Structure 1
Amino acid sequence: MARVWDISSDPDGAIDAAAAAVADGRCIVLPTDTVYGIGADATNAAAVQGLLDAKERGRDMPPPVLIAEVGMLRALTDEVSEDLLALADAFWPGALTVVVTAHPHLRMDLGDRGATIAVRVPDHDFTRALLRATGPLAVSSANVSGRPAATTVEQAREQLGKRVKVYLDGGPAADAVPSTIVDLTGEPRILREGRISRDELGRVVPALAPADPDPTAAEPTDTEPTDTEPTDAEPTDAGPAAAEG
């Protein structure tokens, strides 16, 4: 039976219960600095598959990995570039998810991620304390794919029910704007602009700055079709490496 823990009244008990569930290969729901996330042991392939099953999501959208400290990056990738360190220094902990080339010997089956992994350090004290107890967690938004991401633990329970062993209640999400996703596996590029803007990123990594407008480009008319991004029913599932928010 799923258990709900109030992290404000018993943070130590909540961490112990969640860490035990993670060690047992079960899924948990946890608060983050964006929306609520569903998490599982990132090193346990069966647990990660359980997370994908709980969300009714395929392996083509692997979850990102949350870590407690920037120093844990070197366990996940051996390509810690100057751009990566600069972004981490500027925006971590915070709402920035970075896609990097995974360490060639990394033992994480997160789905069909190819040679990449998406990583974030959340700006949430309790969640980082939990991550120190559990190690890296595969985390995605706490919802069934195609439905709105949960901003309260009650919304997460309504969607995920008994598929989750422990629910950690941190109150309503402070800001439901999802994380920004940046791909650093080649030329730096933004996969999704979320809470951190392109302008902010560009001040740290110039390659991510907005392109200068072409003064010779014609303005589109009302009858001229323009390129638009499709609206995603689940905004936290955007990009080749999905984000929890």
Structure 2
Amino acid sequence: MELLAKYGNEEQKKQWLQPLMAGKIRSAYVMTEIDVAASDAKNLSLDMRREGDSYILNGVNVRVPASNIILGESRGFEIMQGRMGPGRIHHCMRAIGCAERGLDYMIARAHKRMIHGAPLADKGVVASWIAQSRIDIESARLLTLNAADKIDRTSAKDAKTEIAVAKIAVPNLALAVLDRAIQAHGAAGISQDFPLARIWAYLRTVRFADGPDEAHAAQLARTESKRHKNIIDLIAAQETARRSLMNKYKCTPRSHL
């Protein structure tokens, strides 16, 4: 819906966006490359060719009307990047919901399950799991809200650091909560009697969706490292000021304060 709202023409919005918003149809985003690294969205072996009023996609023998193309040829990466910033926040939102559900199941199990004549919740380790899970969920929620707020106030491009932090941290925090919930259920936690293993498996895919953790971490490191010259100059100025003060008050020099 975001892609069509932002980049689609009026006819495309009428044909696809309105039915999507009404819940009459559903959309899907598909990108798979067997022989290349699909985390690099430019590294695609699929190509397309124009044939009359259609495009032929060679990777899936599919014919698409030329009128269906959004924005124009060679604009796909631009469109994808415009969607993926907010889309990564959507993943985080869903992950938080999954974590809340996992914590609910953990609490219910801990208070229903008896061990040595007392509820499982009375055991220190389980109580610690419950407390840590709430801490993890609230941390994840604040990271997500921080990124969403930056997008609202500026743009997805300007919020790329906050988005990367949330996209790396939130699924991992949610996975930790689900792992504790599964552990609290014992063998039942990985059975089909409870949804926990299924939720865990879904969350594990989120660490790949819209870019793997490693890709976001590399981008985050590059962004942070761009500050290196200012940081080096600041530290040098602070060191100069420190030495000046020490000389002024006849202090014994030390390598670090």
What TM bracket, shorter-length normalisation?
under 0.3
Higher Rg: 2
**What is the TM-score of this pair, normalised by structure 1?**
0.25
TM norm structure 2: 0.24
More strand by share: 1
